[in-house]
Amino acid sequence: MDVAYLRAFLAVADELHFGRAAARLDMAQPALSRIIKQLERNLGTSLFVRNTRSVRLTVSGQALIGPATEVLQAVQRAGDAVRGADDGDIGVVRIAFAGVSTHRLVARLAREVRSRRPGIALELSSQNFAQPSMAKLLSGETDINFGRWDVIPAEVSALVVMTDSLVVAVPDTHRIAAARQISIAALADDNFISLPQLEGSVLPDRLRRLARDAGFVATIGQIAPDTQTALALVSAEVGAHLTLASVARNTSDPQVVFIPITESVPDVDLRAAWRTDDTNPALQTVLDELTRLDPAVVTS
């Protein structure tokens, strides 16, 4: 059934006057009459009782008002959905994030998107490490990834969303626990708890570089599967752990002390990464919301 027929029917049903309905639809009255007659033929029933003085709905006409209104509303919603998708106001964006330090940022972004862009659904997935998440981004399994990478593939765009620095986590009973800052050389005789030394893993790489430049090889006493486990081992006095200032801000264990290091190292800033050729309009909308976030809110 032609939607235009239903629109014409509802105009006449509302006005109960063919002349006024035709003017409302910006069409000639004879053309409107032909449309209504064709609709009645299609349905096999009369929708209006007409005479020279009045127009009124038949029982069949009354019955058609509800369904006709629903059809037109559905058509309107469909048009709004398509336009919203084109404008980036409707869609799905898949976000992967790695590590404790990203939690506050991702939570804040999700709240902002839900509040300001309710037509966009975020699918959030936590990864233990940033490097495997980059592979998922490249394969199209995710749309935006948060992590730390020394190498960004040519087909990926990236934006620093949170600056960061390195600290050493030690138990509160450690001999240097009261220090305001230290050189990594002060821990040359300590055991370290390391994250898995995967290709591209930033923190194990920084530990190797720092130890090498200080003239020693770091002794790895235990490999932890993730940052939370590493900090639990620090609390248990198993060893020291090189981690991030942002992790320290998101950790509340009173038995773990975080001490800034004095050495300068390649940056460990948190980045958002996405495929440069991604044409999903909702992706750009989420990136716009990301750049609007107050850094003090996501890092404090």
pLDDT at site 99? 73
Domain boundary among 38, 71, 87: 87
Residue 265, in any domain of the structure: no
pLDDT at residue 80 greater than cutoff 80: no
Q: Verify that 210 and 190 share a domain, yes or no.
A: yes
Regarding whether 120 and 50 lie in a shared domain, the answer is: no
The segment with the largest mean pLDDT, out of 25-34, 39-48, 61-70, 185-194, is 185-194
Residue 190 domain flag = yes
Judge whether residue 161 has pLDDT over 70.
Answer: yes
Q: What is the pLDDT of residue 46?
A: 93
pLDDT for res 281: 87
- Whether residue 299 has pLDDT greater than 50: no
The model's confidence at residue 298, banded by pLDDT at 50, 70 and 90, is: very low
Residue-wise pLDDT for 260-273, tens only, equals: 999 988 889 999 99
Flag whether pLDDT at 296 surpasses 50.
no
Please report the pLDDT score of residue 295 as a whole number.
Answer: 58
pLDDT digits over 200-221, tens only?
688 999 999 999 999 999 999 9
Same domain, 202 and 253: yes
Range of the domain at 246: 166-260
64 and 98 fall within a common domain = no
Residues 207 and 66 in one domain: no
Q: Are residues 36 and 184 in the same domain?
A: no
pLDDT the model gives residue 86: 56
The answer on 286 and 218 residing in a single domain is no
What would the pLDDT profile of 98-156 be if each residue is shown by its tens digit?
777 788 889 999 999 998 888 889 999 887 677 778 889 999 999 999 988 888 999 99
* Residue 187 resides in a domain: yes
pLDDT at res. 178? 95
pLDDT category of residue 300 using cuts at 50, 70 and 90: very low
Mean per-residue pLDDT, 154-181: 94
How confident is the model over 178-206, as pLDDT tens digits? 999 999 999 999 999 999 887 668 899 99
**Average pLDDT, whole number, for the chain?**
88
- Asked whether residue 188 falls in the same domain as residue 68, the answer is no
Per-residue pLDDT at 28:
92
pLDDT tens-digit readout, 214-247: 999 999 999 999 889 999 999 999 999 999 998 8
Residue 3 has pLDDT above 90, yes or no: no
Same domain, 142 and 276: yes
Residue where one domain finishes, among candidates 87, 110, 141? 87
Q: Specify the pLDDT at position 235.
A: 96
Q: Does residue 255 lie in a domain region? A: yes
Residue 144 counted as domain residue: yes
Q: Tell me the CATH number at 236.
A: 3.40.190.10
Q: Does 240 lie in the same domain as 219? A: yes
CB 233 within 8 A of CB 239: yes
Closest CA to 88 of 277, 274, 287, 275: 287
Q: What is the CATH number of the domain that holds 77?
A: 1.10.10.10
Same domain (yes/no): 275, 145: yes
- Is 205 among the domain residues? yes
Question: Looking at the domain assignment, is residue 172 inside a domain?
Answer: yes
Does any domain span residue 32?
A: yes
Give the pLDDT of residue 83: 65
Number of domains comprising the chain: 3
Q: Are 196 and 152 part of one and the same domain?
A: no
